[in-house]
Structure 1
Amino acid sequence: TINLHGFRIAAAGRGGGLGPAHAAHPPAGRPAAVRCLRPSRPLYAAFLLLLQLRRLRRNKDGKAEQAGMGAVDAVYFNGADQLGNNLIMAASRRQRNLLQCLSILRLRGVGLLEHPSHPDTNFTATEGGGFSKSDMRIECLEPMQTWRLEFDGEMTLLPEAEAEKRRRQLGTTGGGCGRRVRVRAQLTWRALHRQFDFDTDQDSHPLAEAVASEEWSQEMFKRLESVHQTHYEQFGEITGPVYVDDEKVADLKLQGARDHSYGNHRVWSDLYRYGLQYIYLQDRTCIAIGCVSMPNYLSKPSTDFRIRCLAGGRAYTVQCRAADQAVFCMGTAAEVRIYERFCDFEVNGIRGWGISEWCYRSSEPWPAWEHAEQSAA
């Protein structure tokens, strides 16, 4: 989807093209490849009709279908600026008192700051804690308009001199590397545009094409219904001060996206790969381009790549250069690895900045995977 000064349009991806053309080989521990079926045109037309009828009925009722609460209730925030400052903060409430959180800051003149638990993101939630734990607080102040993002605790610091080495090779060192510092961030997120609800706003054509690639059966449709989640995204601006060891090091003004997902089902091992790009341009254009694959696996993303897409009858060429990254695990058994990459973008000649998030599934636990990557390097 692309938001041009508040006007949302969908960029429909074509099947089989997820990921950079020259991606590096997959790391150790990847699952076996699963065959990719070409979509059946009759099934595509049938499911597209079902989606359009469902949307007409939903518009007539004046409300969207909700996925329900149960397995997951998750919020995610990212932000970037043209100076090279970046932020990632997220929290996911799960069953059995599990809270999955991550906190990442990249500050110009300071370096890369990560929560010392990374790559592990699993915590025990405190009673009544919502999206918060002892050192992090995420709180909605006004729905769809304002959120509070706070951090007060230890993070590991990878100084800029060390980060320069990572820029050359984009290594996989997690949050355990670097010295411990105390970080305080008192930030406010404010909406720049309205939310984009994937239940009501996304283009039906790529969804119909994806479903038409599966072998249809009653069991398949039951499974499809069970994994449905309500998910929406919204561009906004993050502002506020950051202190390191009680010294004020930045007054942030970052642009990026937030999302909110909830539903009765989320198993990270269902995801084999995805690539999500969140971009803010100098002319205030906001762009989100993404593709998710459940039956295949994802190679490690390359440092630079180019995306070409068509939206609203206009062609877009997106050039990405990853300057740095942080890596962490998601899932109770670390089923997937997620790269949060801090990037410079150029879209049709206009400079921008933002976040490129890549995920792939691995069957190996983190220590074995990390050792294999570092040995290969």
Structure 2
Amino acid sequence: MFILTVICLSLGFVVALLSLAMLLLSRKSMLIFGKYPCKGVFYWLKYGIALLVLRQLRYRIYKRNEELLSSPEHLATLDRPQPLTSDPKSYDVVSFLAANAAGQKLMVTLERRRLGVLKVALYLWLPGEGLYCSPKLPDMVHFTTDGNEESSEFQGAGFHIYPEQSMRSWRLKYSGQLRHTMEMETEQETEIKEQQLLSVQLDLNFNSSSDHFNYNRDLSSSLIADSIAREAWNDSFYSMLKSVGHIVEKRTHYEQSGELDGSIVLGERRLELHLRGFRDHSFGTERCLSSINRYVYFALLLDDGSSMVVGNLSQPSFFLSSLKMGYVCTPKGIYQPITASNFELYSYGEKGTPPQHQNFIVHTEEHKYLVQIRVEHSAVRYVGGDWESKVFNQFVACTVNGIGGQGHAEYLYRNNTGRPDTVSTQDPQWYQRIKRFERSLSNLDLVNEEDFIF
């Protein structure tokens, strides 16, 4: 009887300690601008726990299966256009960001969605000439089918992007028009001088001899642990942890450095392009723009042959109010994850206007980098079927540890204006019917039987 009493008291004491620990860990840290958590009293304890759990999770998903995941068969499956599932959030995106020492810059992104919906943006920045861009921008939505069939490749709106050799070579073609915006400098400000549509033929080949950087597998565990350790570990947080493995499997994002070579015909003029850059491929079902508060992303190409990606994502609903990310790629194509960064979202463009100059420091395990950025030009596009996000695409010059370079920056913000009627009334009837149905669900209105969810 005495032993049983001691056991019961001991168990009660352990339960009380665990309850107290969970209560303390659930406390919210001080928030900057009501969004970005500081390091709380128990930051280091939570950091250590998060780091341990992350390493175990990555070992179970990636390290233990490294032979399979690095096989040519798996990489070929990963690198091709992905079949879209019945999930209404299913997506498949391929993007290219490139630049050269002369200051020429190219950005292309194609996002495949269900029923043949394609979201497209192309920017070409030529120093002394101005910006060439997709004629429909800032709207990105295009329709490649009649709404009764799915797409199976990155094709439509004049584009065709496809792999020629998995993880080695991709072809990028565009035949259509680009809007050319000329500018002139006045004593007061920069003004738009002229806009015209030009017929364009673009044919580029992306080649890479390097491996790829998989964000789920290769992003520094210390950066993820830092973000998680700043959050309140409440009931919602523990519920999310139970499904994190499932969520990771539903979201793939990898990048690869390489070279873009080819030609573009602008009107009656032919221009040869030789650029260095990145190819991005993302697909899955867990990509909800409406849950993202902000993000900033830099892709920098340096004159010594190295390159750098630096970013910061704010997605509080996923307990990542400020997740820093990125890597440095050496001239030999070796990726070194960034382990620390002092780039804080609240210090750069929090009120909705991106800065024209940015200076910050990032670290890898071996080096420290002082990054200095100057914006040369910027353009705006809206992302999402209802323009859920507003993106400022910046074309920048940079200096990293005294080495010059060129590149791109993206500043994404939440947008609540919706997609204007002047734009949406030009959509096919079947797509307009889908959007009406989605709005009726939000408003709890009655709907017709013919309506369906996209």
| Common fold: TM-score over 0.5 | yes
> 1:319-368: CA deviations, max 9, x gaps?
10110112101011111111111111101111111111211112223669
- Hey, what does 1:269 align to over in structure 2? 290
Q: Which segment drifts farther, 333-342 or 32-41? A: 32-41
- Hey, what does 2:266 align to over in structure 1? 244
> 1:225-267: CA deviations, max 9, x gaps?
565311111111111111112321x211111111111112211
- Hey, what does 1:209 align to over in structure 2? 226
2-structure distance, mates of 1:353, 1:17: 34
What secondary structure sits across from 1:200 in the alignment? Answer: helix
One-letter amino acid of the structure 1 residue matched with residue 408 of structure 2: I
Structure 1 residues 35, 186: CA separation in 2 closer, same or farther (over 3 Å shift)?
A: closer
Contact preservation (8 Å) 2:31, 2:37: no
- Normalized per residue, the structure richer in helix is 2
Are 2:177 and 1:154 aligned?
A: yes
TM-fit CA distance, 1:56: 2.6
TM-fit CA distance, 1:204: 0.5
What secondary structure sits across from 1:113 in the alignment? Answer: strand
2-structure distance, mates of 1:247, 1:16: 57
One-letter amino acid of the structure 1 residue matched with residue 255 of structure 2: E
What CA RMSD, in Å, does the superposition of the two structures yield over aligned residues? 3.1
TM-fit CA distance, 1:106: 1.4
What secondary structure sits across from 1:199 in the alignment? Answer: helix
2-structure distance, mates of 1:133, 1:230: 23
- Hey, what does 1:327 align to over in structure 2? 380
- Give the % identical residues: 27
**Structure 1 residue ranges without an equivalent (≥5):** 1-14, 19-31, 369-377
Structure 1 residues 260, 290: CA separation in 2 closer, same or farther (over 3 Å shift)?
A: same
Structure 1 residues 168, 258: CA separation in 2 closer, same or farther (over 3 Å shift)?
A: farther
Are 2:64 and 1:60 aligned?
A: yes
Contact preservation (8 Å) 1:115, 1:156: yes
Structure 1 residues 242, 130: CA separation in 2 closer, same or farther (over 3 Å shift)?
A: same
Structure 1 residues 274, 128: CA separation in 2 closer, same or farther (over 3 Å shift)?
A: closer
- Hey, what does 1:343 align to over in structure 2? 396
Contact preservation (8 Å) 1:273, 1:358: yes
| Number of residue pairs the alignment of both structures matches | 332
One-letter amino acid of the structure 2 residue matched with residue 325 of structure 1: S
What secondary structure sits across from 1:178 in the alignment? Answer: strand
The structure with the largest alpha-carbon Rg is 2
Structure 1 residues 367, 151: CA separation in 2 closer, same or farther (over 3 Å shift)?
A: same
Contact preservation (8 Å) 2:386, 2:419: no
Q: Which segment drifts farther, 205-214 or 256-265? A: 205-214
TM-fit CA distance, 1:284: 0.5
Q: TM-score, normalised by structure 2?
A: 0.67
TM-fit CA distance, 1:108: 3.5
Q: Which segment drifts farther, 227-236 or 315-324? A: 227-236
What secondary structure sits across from 2:354 in the alignment? Answer: coil
> 1:109-128: CA deviations, max 9, x gaps?
43211111111111123454
2:417 to 361, 364, 368: 364
- Hey, what does 1:193 align to over in structure 2? 210
Structure 1 residues 129, 276: CA separation in 2 closer, same or farther (over 3 Å shift)?
A: same
Which of the pair has the greater relative contact order for Cα pairs under 8 Å at 6+ separation? 1
Contact preservation (8 Å) 1:323, 1:342: yes
Residues 6-21 of structure 1: pairs in structure 2 closer than 5 A: none
2:54 to 51, 56, 68: 51
- Hey, what does 1:260 align to over in structure 2? 281
What secondary structure sits across from 2:277 in the alignment? Answer: strand
